[in-house]
Structure 1
Amino acid sequence: MTYTHLTTEELVMIEAYFHQNVPILKIATYVGRSRQTIYNVVIFLRKGYTALDYFKQYKENKKRCGRHSISLPHDQQEYIQMKVSQGWTPDVIIGRAERPIACSVRTLYRQFRKGIFDQATLPMKGKRKPNGHKEKRGKQAFKRNISERLNDYPHFKEEFGHLEGDTIVGVHHKSAVITLVERLSKAIITLKPNGRKAQDIEAAVNNWLRFIPKNLFKSITFDCGKEFSNWKTISNQNDMAIYFADPGTPSQRALNEHSNGLLRKDGLPKEMDFNQVDQSFVSGVASIRNKIPRKSLQYQTPLEVFLTYINEWELSNLI
């Protein structure tokens, strides 16, 4: 049975019965409370106090109830603040367990919401488009649909070497950066094309693939943007399967879409003119994200997982 505290009406009734010298047993019957509860109030009233005084004391006592807020030691706060500045989230800080933190993941998230730590690094919330939104862009013809991918690669979900690709566009839609994500390791690769037209994208991807081992990557899944309309040339020249997601279904390339959001936050915002930066800059932004542990990778970094499939010499030409 759930215990409920005495209400102000009950306290007034008990005080009235007390002044009429009604026995405690009868007061308990009238009010519908236990004798011990009534006895506690009567003892308080016998000292010359009133029901209002009892209620005020009850309110003061109640402030001390419940668990006290956790205050982390100064060295742990400094460590968390340092990792937050590097892009780590609360679940990664606790899950990676590089050093012990004296609270749970949920408690640490609450401290972020209270403003103790920088909340700007937390994952973005909300929907970018409302329910029922219908995409009207990206209906290019003569493309290999994503439905063919599983037939060509039955072990697609467990194989290394399958990429998801897209472009993120700069200010005034005059510049772009190509983003590729390897599905198994979640490693992000960024390429800087000379422009955002189809021939610019084709040249940048082909130039990048020239410096990596043949058939290291088996497939790329793009969205239906016009910038990828030269996909056949890329596919034939590099012996790589290229697929396209259905229009208006970013969930079919969810890892790439999520990675684009992280890159936007880490140093490639929409208001930036990507024509003013070079390949080393966009690679540096991706490198920061590749060195942050991921919960889905058992708190390893994408770079650590990526290196289990290739050697460090090959890595220098890839990421």
Structure 2
Amino acid sequence: MTYNHLIISELSFIQNFWSQGIKAYIAAKALKRSAETIYRVYRFLDTGKTISEYYENYQANKAKSGRKSLVLPNDELEYIKEKVGLGWTPDTIIGRNEKHISCSMHTLYRIFKRSSKLDITSLPMKGKRHPNGYVKRRGKAGRLGRSISDRYKEYPNYHNEFGHRKADTIQGKKHKGVVMTLVERKSKAVIVLNTHHKNDKAIFEKLDKLLSATPRRFFKSITFDNGKEFAKWKYIANKHDISAYFADVGAPNQRALNEQTNGLPRKDGLGKDMDFSDLSNDYVQQVASYRNNIPRKSLNYKTPLEIFMKYITNEQLAFF
């Protein structure tokens, strides 16, 4: 049960009751307060002090009460700074539990907000998200191929199978340069292809080269958006015996993993203010490797690469 502290107007009433000689228990009933609360004020007034002094004394005591701010040991602070520098969030640091931290995840977020020793601007931005069921109204085009509803019919165990990937593209500043992302649903491991151009020819060449060097079971299906750059999907599907599906037009909520994954490389080195025209393949692969080695809450604080390795052999890792 919570306790409401006496406010200044109640204290004035109590002083009036006291000055009139009214018993404390009667005053307590009138104010609907505990008798002991009123007796405490009466005893203070009996010493010759005023109600203003009582209130000032109360305020001073209240300032000393409450939980003191938690101060983390230096070794824990250094560990937190190191992991945040690697792209970890407070949630990941606590959930991964590689080192004991003397607070909860929520407390650690609060420490970031108030402490000068931890830089809150180094944490990932929490972007604005559309509500579930959001339908995009601009730039509508026809669906290029089979709907994702067919995907569940052909792969009834889709949510538990390894090898289903989702494809999308990320553009550089002023549409200069493009990279293509392929995220595996089960492990959330992402492949980033440096396509340079956002057209069906460039996408086809890079994707064909990747699939030609990859064992067939590595890709069971690919789900695309309806961009024109994926117009050659039939050639890819037929040549490499891969099922291809498309989200409904204007429904990004059906590609939530795509949308969320695309924001991560943006944060890791492929920002919106960056020209992708002259990106080196090595740099693009470094960005992908960096992201695949960061623990994820949705993976029980394992890294995408750790989950990925459970499903793939060491020889196949050469193509990742």
Question: Residue deviations 1:221-269, cap 9 Å, x none?
Answer: 0100000001111112212111111111122221121010011111111
Q: What is the CA–CA distance in structure 2 between the aligned matches of 1:230 and 1:196, rounded to whole Å?
A: 13
Which residue matches 2:317?
315
1:94 is aligned to 2:94: yes
Q: What is the CA–CA distance in structure 1 between the aligned matches of 2:209 and 2:174, rounded to whole Å?
A: 26
Question: Residue deviations 1:192-226, cap 9 Å, x none?
Answer: 11421110010011111122113321111010000
Cα pair distance change 1:54/1:210, threshold 3 Å: same
Q: By how many angstroms is 1:89 displaced?
A: 1.1
Which residue matches 2:232?
230
Q: By how many angstroms is 1:27 displaced?
A: 4.2
Which residue matches 2:171?
169
Q: What is the CA–CA distance in structure 2 between the aligned matches of 1:57 and 1:222, rounded to whole Å?
A: 68
Which residue matches 1:239?
241
Q: What is the CA–CA distance in structure 1 between the aligned matches of 2:5 and 2:204, rounded to whole Å?
A: 73
SS where residue 312 of structure 1 aligns? coil
Q: By how many angstroms is 1:132 displaced?
A: 6.3
Instruction: Give yes or no for contact 2:135–2:251 (8 Å, CA) kept in 1.
Output: no
Q: What is the CA–CA distance in structure 2 between the aligned matches of 1:301 and 1:133, rounded to whole Å?
A: 32
Amino acid at match of 1:77: L
Which residue matches 1:217?
219
Q: By how many angstroms is 1:79 displaced?
A: 0.8
Query: Structure 1: 5+ residue runs without aligned partners?
Result: none
Amino acid at match of 1:216: F
Which residue matches 1:114?
114
SS where residue 214 of structure 2 aligns? coil
Q: What is the CA–CA distance in structure 1 between the aligned matches of 2:136 and 2:300, rounded to whole Å?
A: 36
Q: What is the CA–CA distance in structure 2 between the aligned matches of 1:151 and 1:21, rounded to whole Å?
A: 84
Q: By how many angstroms is 1:25 displaced?
A: 4.5
Cα pair distance change 1:240/1:48, threshold 3 Å: same
Amino acid at match of 1:10: E
Q: What is the CA–CA distance in structure 2 between the aligned matches of 1:93 and 1:62, rounded to whole Å?
A: 35
SS where residue 315 of structure 2 aligns? helix
Q: What is the CA–CA distance in structure 1 between the aligned matches of 2:217 and 2:133, rounded to whole Å?
A: 40
Q: By how many angstroms is 1:88 displaced?
A: 0.7
Amino acid at match of 2:291: R
| Percent pairwise identity | 46
Query: Structure 2: 5+ residue runs without aligned partners?
Result: none
1:105 is aligned to 2:105: yes
Amino acid at match of 1:181: V
Cα pair distance change 1:146/1:24, threshold 3 Å: closer
Q: By how many angstroms is 1:119 displaced?
A: 2.9
Cα pair distance change 1:279/1:247, threshold 3 Å: same
Instruction: Give yes or no for contact 1:135–1:247 (8 Å, CA) kept in 2.
Output: no
Q: By how many angstroms is 1:296 displaced?
A: 1.3
Matches within 5 A, 1:28-67: 28-67=28-67
Q: What is the CA–CA distance in structure 2 between the aligned matches of 1:2 and 1:194, rounded to whole Å?
A: 63
Instruction: Give yes or no for contact 1:215–1:240 (8 Å, CA) kept in 2.
Output: no
SS where residue 277 of structure 2 aligns? helix
Of residues 299, 302, 307, the one that matches 1:300 is: 302
Aligned length: 318
Q: By how many angstroms is 1:29 displaced?
A: 4.9
Q: By how many angstroms is 1:99 displaced?
A: 0.7
Which residue matches 2:69?
69
SS where residue 207 of structure 1 aligns? helix
Q: What is the CA–CA distance in structure 2 between the aligned matches of 1:193 and 1:142, rounded to whole Å?
A: 21
Q: What is the CA–CA distance in structure 2 between the aligned matches of 1:151 and 1:128, rounded to whole Å?
A: 28
Q: What is the CA–CA distance in structure 2 between the aligned matches of 1:250 and 1:296, rounded to whole Å?
A: 20
Which residue matches 1:208?
210
1:186 is aligned to 2:184: no
